[in-house]
Amino acid sequence: MAVKPIITLPDKRLRQRAAPVARVDDEVRALMDDLLETMYAAPGIGLAATQVAVPKRVMVLDIAKREDEAASPDPMAFANPEIVWASQETSIRQEGCLSIPEFFEDVVRPARVRVSYLDRDGKRQELEADGILARCLQHEIDHLDGVLFIDHISRLKRDRIVKKFGKAAKRDIEERKPPRRTAEAESA
Ligand code: GNR
Ligand code: NI
């Protein structure tokens, strides 16, 4: 297992569509483990392979701590996840993203979704979710399609945050600094 560096805006690899895995083999399971370790280290409640610059349709979640501080870990791993149903009803929640550090904004999404995916054993599963789980599933699946939560907010707010991260990256280049990484990745 290994903690991998998380890429951040404006890294173009965040905009790539990830490819499905042919099967869930040991290599995919190792990727799931790396994603979980990286997510817990960040810390975050979800992480997509896209965020560690691996363009494969693999992602992990653990929302246990989010809902109950004393809860024991509940790692979930998904390969080739697909939203097979989404509710008409929507909900609004504040989102953040490890690839857009320190920016938070309200996002409107379907309140409930049903997701089909392959589990750690390569077995096809279906999961119906609401609340924070539904939220997280949609956020992570978006990553696999090269979509970020800022794509769901107003253009004015999106342009402002994209510009800010673009300028910070440009400054880093001019000062010949390595690309900005999260503090967690730096200490890995
Ligand atoms: O840690 C995370 N928190 C979060 C909060 C609200 C909605 C979505 C998320 S996912 C995020 C980690 C992340 O960037 N996953 O891609
Ligand atoms: Ni994210």
The pLDDT tens digits for 134-153 are: 999 999 999 999 999 999 99
How far CA 26 is from CA of 32, 52, 86, 120, in Å, comes to 10, 18, 32, 9
Active site residues: 140
Ligand 1 and 111: CB distance under 6 A = no
Q: Which residues pair with 97 in a beta bridge?
A: 100
- Tell which residue, 87, 90, 40, 48, has the closest CA to residue 66: 40
Q: Which ligand lies nearest the alpha carbon of 136?
A: 1
pLDDT, one tens digit per residue, over 88-112 is: 999 999 999 999 999 999 999 999 9
Q: Ligand 1 pocket, 47 CB below 6 A?
A: yes
- pTM listed for this prediction: 0.93
Spacing, Cα 186 to ligand 1 middle (Å) = 20
pLDDT of residue 142: 99
Residue 59: strand, helix, or coil: strand
- pLDDT tens string 154-169: 999 999 999 999 999 9
For tokens 């402002």, the residue is: 160
CB-ligand 1 contact for 77 (6 Å cutoff): no
Give Rg (Cα) of the chain. 16
CA of 139 to the centre of ligand 2 (A): 6
48-85 pLDDT per residue, tens:
999 999 999 999 999 997 667 778 899 999 999 999 99
Which ligand has the nearest atom to the CA of 44? 1
What is the DSSP track for 107-140?
EEEES-EEEEEE-TTS-EEEEEE-HHHHHHHHHH
Q: Which CATH number fits domain 12-179: 3.40.50.2300, 3.90.45.10, 1.10.3720.10, 3.40.50.300?
A: 3.90.45.10
Rounded mean pLDDT of 174-179?
Answer: 78
